[in-house]
Every structure is written in C-alpha cells, then in structure tokens.
C-alpha cells in the first residue's frame, strides 16, 4: 500500500525542576534535548513491513535531525522534507506540581511536489489535528486520512476516517462513544495489554501490543479487503 506519513516532529527540550513554587529557590535537576522519533519510527517500520512509504515533515540543520534523515533514507523511506533554516523546539517542564508542554507554533508549508505525493497515496497518516490543516488535507486527498495520537475537534471529524492512540484517553468510554456518534468511522487504542478497535456497531480487543505492528497489519487487511476476518482472527478470547 502506498502511504504518506505527514506531520511535525520538532526537537524536544525537557527540563526537570525541583519545584515551580514562587517562594524559595527552584533548581534545574535535569536538562536534555532529544528528537521526537515517532513519525520516523512509524515510517521505517511500515516501510520494512512491505508498504511504499513517503514522509513529509520538517527537518532542520540540527545534527539530531540530519542523523534521522539519513537513517530514514537508509531504511528505504522516501523523504520529502520541509527544510527549515531555524531549529524548532518543543519544551516540556517536569515538576512535582505537574508537567507542562510548550509547543512551537511552526506550521508545515506544502509545496507542489509534496502535494503530488499526497494525491498519489492510498492512505495518509498524520499527527496534526487542527481543523484548518485537516480541511486542507481533505481538499488534497478527500479520503483515507488517519490521525495518530491526537483527537481532532469534532467539526474536523468529517475529514478523518480513523484515529490511532498510543495511550488510553481520559473517560475512554464516553470519549469513544462521542467520537463515533459524531461521525468518526473507527478508533483504535493501545491499552498497554493490546489494542481496542471500536466502530459504530462493533468493538474488538485485539492481541497486538505494538503501535507500528497494529498499523501495518490493519492497513494490509484493508488493502486485501479482509478487515473483518483479520479482526476476528486476532481478537482476544
């Protein structure tokens, strides 16, 4: 299956502090910079699974970004980068009072050759969930869009076929019911013990524990028009 992975993956700065209290002295206990590998790992695993995978995402001149870009090309993934002159960072602050995320406001700019790649795809997988982005993506490729690890606002669900989550959302039952009743075709959730797969009429617990493995087998089942058989064969007893 011809797949395009589309999204943003910034460098991530993580700061662990002793406290965020106004009184007294707060100290930095740990600081690190890492690269968000989610899009790259999914792309590589699906490519190695036999799919024809393209990745459209932002890359910069930062060494960690270049290393991942070279790795993707070695794994056979076709990369169509949105090259940036400046390095973009997301910041996570971890403290006893709670964790806080500050995301860079960077937005992807799609050029004509990237749009051509999207138009030729069988499925598009993205980590972007804004209404404007999904509306634009639907104009380019009006079917078969999967959102990864985000829940779009409800008015954007008309542009989305399914959602795959790597963590259980809060108020899972209510969230799943509300999404499906609002027009989402399906949602898959990694519970840590396997995947749950929900549609309007059916729910399955599936004996698959790896995120990329679920996507690989699910897409192959869709391609061969054997989704129901695959769900039945892999459901937990």
pLDDT tens digits, one per residue of 159-212: 999 999 999 999 999 999 999 999 999 999 999 999 999 999 999 999 998 999
Cβ pair 166, 190 in contact under 8 A: yes
Q: What is the pLDDT of residue 90?
A: 87
Q: What is the pLDDT of residue 22?
A: 78
**Residue 237 pLDDT > 80:** no
Cβ pair 174, 199 in contact under 8 A: no
**Residue 63 pLDDT > 90:** no
Q: Over the stretch 126-145, which tens digit does the pLDDT of each residue have? A: 999 999 999 999 999 998 99
**Residue 146 pLDDT > 90:** yes
Domains of the chain: 2-7+37-83+107-234 (3.40.1190.20)
Q: Over the stretch 107-131, which tens digit does the pLDDT of each residue have? A: 888 999 999 999 999 999 999 999 9
* Backbone phi, psi, residue 3, to 5°: -120, 145
Residue 25's pLDDT band (boundaries 50, 70, 90)? confident
Residue 104's pLDDT band (boundaries 50, 70, 90)? confident
**Residue 24 pLDDT > 80:** no
Q: What is the pLDDT of residue 202?
A: 93
Q: What is the pLDDT of residue 60?
A: 85
* Mean pLDDT of all residues belonging to the chain: 92
**Residue 77 pLDDT > 80:** yes
Rounded CA-CA distance 64/60 in Å is 9
Residue 23's pLDDT band (boundaries 50, 70, 90)? confident
């Amino acid at each position: 299956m011809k797949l395009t992975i589309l999204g943003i993956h910034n460098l991530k700065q993580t700061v662990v502090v002793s406290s965020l209290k106004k009184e007294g002295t707060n100290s930095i206990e740990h600081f690190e910079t890492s690269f968000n590998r989610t899009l790259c790992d999914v792309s590589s695993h699906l490519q190695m699974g036999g799919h024809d995978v393209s990745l459209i995402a932002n890359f910069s001149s930062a060494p960690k970004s270049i290393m991942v870009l070279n790795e993707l090309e070695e794994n056979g993934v076709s990369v169509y980068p949105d090259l940036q002159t400046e390095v973009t960072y997301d910041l996570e602050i971890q403290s006893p009072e709670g964790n806080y995320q500050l995301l860079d406001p960077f937005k992807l700019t799609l050029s004509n050759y990237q749009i051509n790649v999207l138009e030729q795809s069988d499925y598009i997988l993205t980590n972007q969930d804004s209404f404007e982005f999904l509306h634009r993506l639907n104009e380019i490729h009006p079917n078969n869009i999967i959102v990864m690890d985000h829940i779009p606002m409800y008015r954007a669900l008309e542009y989305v076929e399914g959602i795959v989550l790597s963590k259980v959302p809060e108020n899972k039952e209510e969230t799943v019911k509300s999404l499906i009743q609002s027009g989402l075709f399906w949602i898959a959730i990694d519970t840590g013990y396997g995947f749950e797969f929900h549609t309007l009429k059916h729910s399955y617990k599936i004996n698959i524990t790896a995120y990329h493995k679920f996507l690989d087998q699910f897409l192959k089942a869709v391609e061969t028009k054997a989704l129901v058989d695959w769900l039945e064969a892999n459901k937990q007893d």
